[in-house]
Amino acid sequence: MPKSIKVKIVTPERIILQEEYNEAIIPTTAGEIGVLANHTPLVSGIQPGEIRLKKGDHTTFLAISSGFIEVRPNSKVVILADTAERAEEIDLERAEEARARAEAMLKEKTQAEDIDYARLQSQLDKELARLKVGRKYKKLPLQ
């Protein structure tokens, strides 16, 4: 029986990572889940947030927007995401500017039914996740 899981995270632009970990913690639409070796197969939607991938004493942090996760037999995890960034790749200044723009445009919208409102709210959620992960990473000691 494997003691690790093979995690692959893919966006339309590129493969973000493809490595083995001991545990993956993922923000799904049903709540945060933890995946260990030999996890029951499942498919779920992903919501914007933070992915934590643990290998021994080291944790890799990623910011993710919406997408899907598939836990396959033989301890394989595939995440298909609209966007995903490793914490060390996040430009905090750019993310803060994007968050401020999304918030300002959201305030201009008065109709919650407006499709632009939903798009802007999704953009704001994505930027907030990027900021959370990026700020957390910047506070960690270098490994």
Per-domain residue ranges of the chain: 5-87, 90-139
In this prediction, residue 143 carries a pLDDT of 43
Mean pLDDT over each residue of the chain, to the nearest integer = 84
**Residue the block writes with tokens 């968050």:** 99
Domain 5-87 has CATH 2.60.40.420: no
pLDDT top residue among 132 and 56: 56
Separation between Cα atoms, residue 34 and residue 32, nearest integer Å:
7
Res 73 pLDDT > 60: yes
Domain range 90-139, CATH class: mainly alpha
**Other C-beta atoms lying within 10 Å of the C-beta of residue 82:** 15
Q: Is-contact 8 77, C-beta < 8 A?
A: yes
What's the whole-model pTM score?
0.75
Q: Helices in the chain by DSSP H: which ranges?
A: 92-108, 115-139
pLDDT digits (tens, 9 = 90+) for 43-53: 999 999 999 99
> Per-residue pLDDT for 28 more than 50?
yes
